[in-house]
Amino acid sequence: MHSLNQYVEIIPLLTTFGTAIISCFYELGKRWQDFIIALLGILFVFFTYLFFTEDFSSSLAVHTLFDIRYNKIGMFTGALFCLSLFIGLFPIRKTMTFNSNLLFFIAGGLGIILANNLPTFFFFWTFQRALPANGFLRDAVHKESTVGATYIIQHMLTFFCFLGLLFFANEQGLLITPMTEFPASFFTWPVLLLSFIIIYQVHGIFPFHSWVHDLVEGSTWYEFSAIFLSRAGVLLFVQLLLPTLKHDPDVFKILLLSLSIISSIYWSFRGIMEKNLHRTANYFYIAQASLLLTGLQADMTAAKGSYLHMMVISISGPALFSILSYIEHTFSMKRSSQYYGFAQYYPKLATLFCLFGFCMIGVPLGASFVVEDLVITGLLEYQPYLGLGHIIATCLNGILFFLMFTRLFLGQNPYSMPVTNKDMPLSQMLPYILALMMLILIGVLPYLFLEKITW
């Protein structure tokens, strides 16, 4: 970054944390919601501009233990983070009230994305993951709910694993060293084991996945999205393990790949067996996200497929959650389990929901069709049986989506209300339409996006 732009780097953290603190003392109502959405749009433009214009040759060290760096993967993830939340929140801003701590989730996610060394990453990860834990503890004290025990226990274990990793880094004088500059000699078996637990736990991958059930049960979809869209596991893997992965034992790499695929299969089965549509939608999203780490470990071509996959599910996931939330808030239902037959009332939203899902599961001309081709080809060349496992996981994801769409939109509606069009206005659906056009463009002309994806 140029010297004149150095202090611009802290603008995302200042604006989000500053306004989040202000919102704790002043009730701003709908104006506050409009401000959040506008801020997300501005930050998306900010990150996108830097992604296409900067060379990321230097960093801004705010403090020895607090260090942020604007790099290619950070700007890519930051732009997706803001864009995805904008797409999900803008169409429903008039039909629901956001939780007051949403800005804290956003600020914590941006801190994770911009973190340059382990202490900074650890601080923002702890801050963001403590927000749901605080809510779980508050509900437990007031005996409103017993949900959250698994979430707290697993995150405490990961917290201590982080402390162990910081200890090993400090022992070798690497505590404040940028994660991408760790030497291969640092990754002994204890360090690899701690890194493996941390990365897979924060990403919700089997066998460190149980906390996700509590998060799905006790958080709103946009809080859930803010946690997963920050891609803490992917960023930690790319910046910490990936630069030296070629020096790691093959058995370690195969273990990482196998568990990612098994995790996706597990979440797909959980979604297929689940009766509650909210949980089904979340499990479908996590099943897709579990496969993000597979391509990164195969070869460069498959890794570019994983970056495209991250773009696809980051945009499509919040759009699906948002459509589901809009239907829930605009249709009076006796029981939340009675979700079916809504295509009669929401024909345009049903079409958009279907198309977003197609883009995620690999239908031809959809964005994931290119993604799966790149990733599966790379995996088949690396380990054929891993490529086969990825194919099985992808097929199960497709089955889960069709089951979810059928439950929500098809069949006879159980309510006696006359059939009327309850679709949102076209101007309100505009973010969905523009996002869908981008996803289709990825499927038709993927090279436009692949040529800008670099390490």
Pick the closest to residue 272 from 407, 376, 388, 154 (CA basis). Answer: 407
Mean pLDDT of 191-204: 88
Residue 59 has pLDDT above 50, yes or no: no
Kindly state the greatest CA–CA separation across the chain: 70
Token pair, residue 311, equals 């773009």
Amino acid letter for position 4: L
- If you write DSSP's letter for every residue of 258-293 in order, what string do you get? HHHHHHHHHHHHHHHH---HHHHHHHHHHHHHTTHH
Pick the closest to residue 379 from 264, 278, 274, 253 (CA basis). Answer: 253
Residue 11 has pLDDT above 80, yes or no: no
CB-based burial, 314-337: b 16+ in 10 Å, e otherwise: bbbbbbbbbbbbbbbebeeeeeee
Pick the closest to residue 281 from 242, 243, 246, 324 (CA basis). Answer: 324
- State pLDDT tens for residues 371-402: 777 777 777 777 788 888 888 888 899 899 99
Q: In the structure, what pLDDT confidence band is assigned to residue 63 with cuts at 50, 70 and 90?
A: very low
- State pLDDT tens for residues 125-182: 999 988 888 877 776 666 666 667 788 888 899 999 999 999 999 998 888 888 888 8
In this prediction, residue 339 carries a pLDDT of 60
C-alpha 445: how far from chain center: 24
